[in-house]
Amino acid sequence: MKFARVIGNVVATQKVSGLQGVKFLVVQGLNAAREDEGEPYVAVDATAQAGEGELVFVIASKEASFALSTSFVPVDAAVVGIVDDVDDRPLYDADSVAWKHFVTPKQ
């Protein structure tokens, strides 16, 4: 599973029967810093809600076909989630005060 950003749509006049009614999206893969990585590619929208500009989760390979209601359709990538927010702060940040509220000193 990787981050990607939706950068466009694909219109197909003919599709395999298992892909009827499924939206095709052009996505740009992202690295851990959420910067563009590699070439854009087409992914089916298993969420049926993703739109241009959104940050999404994409799965690839054989698993992508499992994301749709019709199994084993010929797809290479599928959008399986829309990301609302990313909290990439370290889990235990020594400078952060928030985590200290969960630690009670022993007496």
Domains and CATH numbers, the chain: 2-102 (2.40.50.220)
C-alpha 23: how far from its chain's center?
15
The pLDDT assigned to 96 comes to 60
Sequence-ordered strand ranges (E) for 14-87: 24-29, 41-45, 55-60, 77-82
Alpha-carbon span 19 to 17, nearest angstrom: 5
| Residue 107: band (very low, low, confident or very high) from pLDDT cuts 50, 70, 90 | low
Alpha-carbon span 13 to 105, nearest angstrom: 66
* Token duo for residue 45: 């929208």
The pLDDT assigned to 81 comes to 96
Residues 6 or more apart whose CB falls under 8 angstroms from that of 8 comprise 25, 26, 40, 52
Q: What is the pLDDT of residues 55-87, one digit of tens each?
A: 999 999 988 988 888 877 899 999 999 999 887
* Residue, of 25 and 99, whose pLDDT is higher: 25
User: Residue 60's beta-bridge partner residues?
Assistant: 77
* Residue, of 99 and 49, whose pLDDT is higher: 49
Q: Is the pLDDT of residue 33 over 80?
A: yes
Q: What is the mean pLDDT of residues 1-23?
A: 92
